[in-house]
Structure 1
Amino acid sequence: MIKVLLFAAVREFIGKDMIEMEGGSQTVLQLREQLEKDYPEAPFSHAMAAVNESFVPDDYEIKPGDTVAFIPPVSGG
């Protein structure tokens, strides 16, 4: 089981702050692509990824039990 935390625009599009997903080892990119397929309206492609509270690149290997966060860019004023 992988816990996916959602923030900002991604959370608003999906209407949830967390998704739990079944799955074995996969990369952040593979997870991102699956989420984009499941939730095409959500802006996952521009979000930064963090695994277990550390930012990681798309080729990082996610393991069962990890917590993944997708954090979209934020603008301020």
Structure 2
Amino acid sequence: MRVLYFAWLRQKVGTAEEEVSPPAEVRDVAGLIAWLAVRSPSHAAAFADPRQVRAAVNQDFATPDHPVAANDEIAFFPPVTGG
């Protein structure tokens, strides 16, 4: 699974992307966030408030209950505001 980080998430995690192999019980975006948050202190800081994180699965916006699979690309980014 390829995970991409954008904006302040990238700064907190310390990388723009990484390949991960979450356990089988990680089945959706929320589960992936929870699993990533315990990987390291930097991941914990990035996902400290999951309500401030948006996701896309295979370049389509995704809700926390959206399924994820081993060959997916998941991007995490902050909420986008316009002006």
Q: TM-score, normalised by structure 2?
A: 0.79
Give the aligned partner of residue 13 of structure 1: 12
Q: Does 1:41 align with 2:53?
A: no
Q: Does 1:67 align with 2:73?
A: yes
Report the Cα distance in structure 2 between the residues aligned to 1:57 and 1:31, rounded to whole angstroms.
12
> What runs of 5+ residues in structure 2 fail to find an aligned partner?
none
| C-alpha RMSD of matched pairs (Å) | 1.9
**Identity percentage of aligned residues:** 33
Report the Cα distance in structure 2 between the residues aligned to 1:7 and 1:19, rounded to whole angstroms.
12
Q: How is 1:22-33 mapped onto 2 (pairs within 5 angstroms)?
A: 22-23=21-22, 24=24, 26-33=27-34
Matched residue count: 76
Q: TM-score, normalised by structure 1?
A: 0.84
> What runs of 5+ residues in structure 1 fail to find an aligned partner?
none
Report the Cα distance in structure 2 between the residues aligned to 1:20 and 1:61, rounded to whole angstroms.
18
The one-letter code matched in structure 1 to 2:65 is D
